[in-house]
Amino acid sequence: MKTKPKTVRISIIGFGNVGGGVAEAVRRKREEIERRHGIDIKIVGIADLKGAIVNENGLSEDAIMKPKTRRKPEDMTSRDVIKEIEHEVMVEATPTNVENGEPGLTHIITALESDRHVVTSNKGPLALEYSRLMELAAKRGKELRFEAAVGGAMPIISLVRENLAGNGIISIKGILNGTCNYILTRMAEEGLPYEHVLKEAQEIGIAESDPSKDVEGIDTAVKLVILANSVFDMNMTYEDVEVTGITDITPDALKLANDAGYMIKLIGEVDRAGGLKVAPRLVPKDDPLNVGGTLNVATIKTDLAGDITVIGKGAGPIEAASAILSDIIRIYS
């Protein structure tokens, strides 16, 4: 006899690129997820600074697409949606803020205290308050999952924690920022200066108008902190990372490296002795870490399995949504 699928009601807090990607991925994959995993995902609440829409029976595609059906933010805030609308999983996709973690930190705490599981793509709260949030989740018997926050679609957290569970992890090293990788790849290929390629990256939407968090290595450092805390059980913050970005790299340096058989890549590395470092490094051309364009890559050094390397898309709404959907499914499998 066919068992009835389990209904999993979700809210999406922050409905920009990633939040919209989650709604789109749920639309595309709902039937398949129900058939393969026995989970019927219903979006019951969406909120951002423009307002909120809720329906405890599940929002229609029509309602999701029409911003005019939203209640004004002053009538219903994101916190109201998290607290008052009955649901099982809160998806948090508001902007990353590494100064104080807000608004994501408050959203995550409110959700856990309201007995919701949390799945987030937001790095700020995890980089600043990882231990506190995990303790709160454990106390409430809820899960806090964040695969999308490090490497987007590239599975790294679950790969290490689940698939490599019997292994000791010695180090993780990789390219965790697609914008820097794109800039360095183009500079090396075309012999163009940094400013020229940055401008080009901004024009095609790969770099933000304020690219400092990416090019100064801050984004990579924040992801390393999340890896250090979640994989190595450390209690690190951004201050513990030695960071150098890519702004001083010249076409000449790339050419010299190239002639000697190397590429220059912005590499983040964390090892179990507690060293956290982000810096441009020479990578042999035949090394698995030598990936081009906006790709992300990570090599995980383990004591039993040896080196495992994963490569994937570190950004993009549907790519991040892929990681978020996997996290939701894993909560129930």
Ligand X SMILES: NC(=O)c1ccc[n+]([C@@H]2O[C@H](COP(=O)([O-])OP(=O)(O)OC[C@H]3O[C@@H](n4cnc5c(N)ncnc54)[C@H](OP(=O)(O)O)[C@@H]3O)[C@@H](O)[C@H]2O)c1
Q: List residues with catalytic annotation.
A: 223
- Among the listed residues 10, 11, 15, 26, the single contact to ligand X using CB under 6 A: 15
Rounded Cα gap, residues 215 and 186, in angstroms: 14
Minimal CB distance to ligand X: which residue? 16
Residue 128 tokens read as 């600043």
Q: How many residues bind ligand X (CB under 6 A)?
A: 27
Binding string to ligand X for residues 109 to 128, with x set by CB under 6 A, is what?
Answer: ------------xxx-----
Q: How far is the CB of 325 from ligand X (least distance, A)?
A: 13
Mark out the alpha helices in the chain (DSSP H runs): 17-37, 61-65, 78-84, 104-113, 123-140, 157-158, 178-190, 194-203, 212-215, 218-231, 251-259, 317-331
Per rule CB under 6 A, is residue 320 in the interface with ligand X? yes
Binding string to ligand X for residues 82 to 111, with x set by CB under 6 A, is what?
Answer: -----------xxxx------x--------
Q: Which string of DSSP letters, residue by residue, matches 34-66? A: HHHH-EEEEEEEEEETTEEEE-TT---HHHHH-
Residues 183-212 close enough to bind ligand X by CB under 6 A: none
Q: Which CB, 36 or 66, lies closer to ligand X?
A: 66
Q: Which residues contact 260 (CB under 8 A, 6 or more apart)?
A: none
- Among the listed residues 6, 16, 131, 233, the single contact to ligand X using CB under 6 A: 16
Q: How far is the CB of 305 from ligand X (least distance, A)?
A: 27
Q: Which CB, 154 or 263, lies closer to ligand X?
A: 154
Q: Which CB, 120 or 299, lies closer to ligand X?
A: 120
Cβ(256)–Cβ(152) below 8 Å: no
Residues 122-161 close enough to bind ligand X by CB under 6 A: 122-123, 148-149, 152
Between the alpha carbon of residue 142 and those of residues 41, 109, 113, 121, the distances in Å are 18, 11, 9, 17
Helix (H, G, I), strand (E, B) or coil at 124: helix
Per rule CB under 6 A, is residue 14 in the interface with ligand X? yes
Per rule CB under 6 A, is residue 50 in the interface with ligand X? yes
Residues 224-283 close enough to bind ligand X by CB under 6 A: none
Q: Which CB, 180 or 283, lies closer to ligand X?
A: 180
Q: How remote is the C-alpha of 45 from its chain's centroid?
A: 21
Q: Nearest Cα to 289, choosing from 273, 269, 303?
A: 269
Beta strand pairing call for 169-175 and 295-302? antiparallel
Neighbours of 256 (CB within 10 A): 13
Q: Which residues contact 137 (CB under 8 A, 6 or more apart)?
A: 112, 118, 143, 144
Per rule CB under 6 A, is residue 65 in the interface with ligand X? no
Per rule CB under 6 A, is residue 24 in the interface with ligand X? no
Q: Which CB, 263 or 324, lies closer to ligand X?
A: 324
Amino acid present at 169:
I
Q: How far is the CB of 102 from ligand X (least distance, A)?
A: 7
Q: Which CB, 78 or 281, lies closer to ligand X?
A: 78
The footprint of ligand X (CB under 6 A) covers 13-19, 47-50, 78, 93-96, 103, 121-123, 148-149, 152, 315-317, 320
